[in-house]
Amino acid sequence: MIYNKMLEKVDKHVIKVAVIGAGHFGTAIVTQQNNEEWIDVVLVADINLESAQKAYTRANIPEEKHKYASTAEEAEKLIQEGYFVYTNDANIIANVPSIEVVCEGTGVPEASAKLSLDAINAGKHVVSISKEMDSVVGPILKRKAKEKGVVYSPVDGDQPSLLMALVEWARLIGLEVISGGKARDGEFILDEKNNKVYIKQDGITVHEDASVNIKPEDMKYLEMIPEGKAEEYIAKRAELLSSLPNAGAFDLCELTIVANCTGLKPASYPLTQATLRITELPVAYCEKQNKGIYEESGIIDVHTNFRRFDESGMGGGVYIVVKCDNAYSQYIVSTKGQIPNYDLSTAVIYRPYHLCGVETGTSILCAAFLGVDTGSMEYKPIYDLVKVAAVDIPAGETLGNDHDLRLIAEIRPQSKKSPSSPLPGHMITGSKVTRDIKKGEIITYDMVEDKSDSVLWKLRSEQENLDW
């Protein structure tokens, strides 16, 4: 494997890692260290001390081997003595000398920005789990890291990094990427026997079970999309399944990052968000000249995977739809294991899983040993995730994150700060509304309290004023 070939050329040592945020993703980084020869997660920070310590318990590290620290000096001393440290103050991490890589996963944009910047300024590599912050100021943090001689990397195990890798691999070998994107974690399951489609709650992105009954005469629209019928079937399925939950703001947040790293463009405002089988991706998510729905190539999109209960799913994975200009090369691509469209002019290549923190070791190793990130070569601020009011929002209310149901997300071209310009979606998290907002309005700078003195807003201002 290419990682082994690269890593055998460097002097290796055990990398001491800090994880900020002991949630689903961060905990998996901690538990997986037992199987990784060159990685020790020696410090876990979470505002919930029980969660921080529990990450070590789940990693089967004996309780007598993890200890609490409230200062950087105390943490360093304990690490040198062979203990695994937990804390509720992530601010100490930048000042712990032995920490080489910081995996930042608070999911709170302002906190993430400060902690990432502090780590970079202290000469530590940052592996960014917090897509919320990354979607706002990722480009400037990557530039600052390069200036400091360290790495700012997206995290392997989450969709942005995995989709970037898939796109760059395809382009490297000369494939044209017609479209790329991700599947939602939640999937629509077809129960043909009972004329029903349902989705199961997962406790993370889908919060309750839901189902819809389909009239017998409409069941044909849930069969495989016929050649040339993509637009019709997508529209009809959207109508039939409108009561089921669709893509969330968190899905579009991840795709905003990928768009800024790959040059892929949003399909529409909002994205298509079609309900598609894996086998229908090359049929629908391609250009009209290939009997798909897009006017041009190079599109980024999202879909809800559609399947029977006994069929393979996408697991929230990523995909690209590709083609070759050369007929013989295209024949190889469309007949050697990939799923093509009807006339074999396109094919889908997909990765039906993202293993969260279990996969993050590659990002940590590449940063510490190779000095490279596991993202894209470029990271430019081209698009923003913005928020649109789904309901009337009165002045004085506080806006939430990607799970705030009062808000709908869209990917829009970036614009510089002005009273009437769209405010990047994760700069509004926790902000109070300063005037009444009507349903359908994009949230702009003049609608929320100004936080220009915050680290996140300062970084964003600096990013907007740089030459990219």
Q: Residues 270-293: what's their mean pLDDT?
A: 96
The Cα–Cα gap between 158 and 359 comes to 9
Rounded to an integer, the average pLDDT of 74-82 is: 98
Burial class (CB in 10 A: 0-12, 13-18, 19+), 95: middle
Task: Provide the pLDDT confidence category of residue 406 given band limits of 50, 70 and 90.
Answer: very high
Under DSSP, is residue 348 helix (H, G, I), strand (E, B) or coil? strand
The amino acid occupying position 216 is P
pLDDT tens-place string over residues 120-147: 999 999 999 999 999 999 999 999 999 9
- Residue 1 pLDDT > 70: no
pLDDT at 206 over 90: no
Q: Return all residues near 53 (Cβ < 8 A) that are at least 6 apart.
A: 44, 66, 68, 86
Q: Name the pairing type of β-strands 125-128 and 101-104.
A: parallel
Domains, the chain, ordered by start: 2-157+357-370 (3.40.50.720), 162-354 (no CATH), 383-464 (3.90.1210.10)
Confidence band of 269 (pLDDT split at 50, 70, 90): confident
Measured N-to-C along each axis, helices 131-148 and 109-121 cross at an angle, to the nearest 10 degrees, of: 10
pLDDT at 11: 86
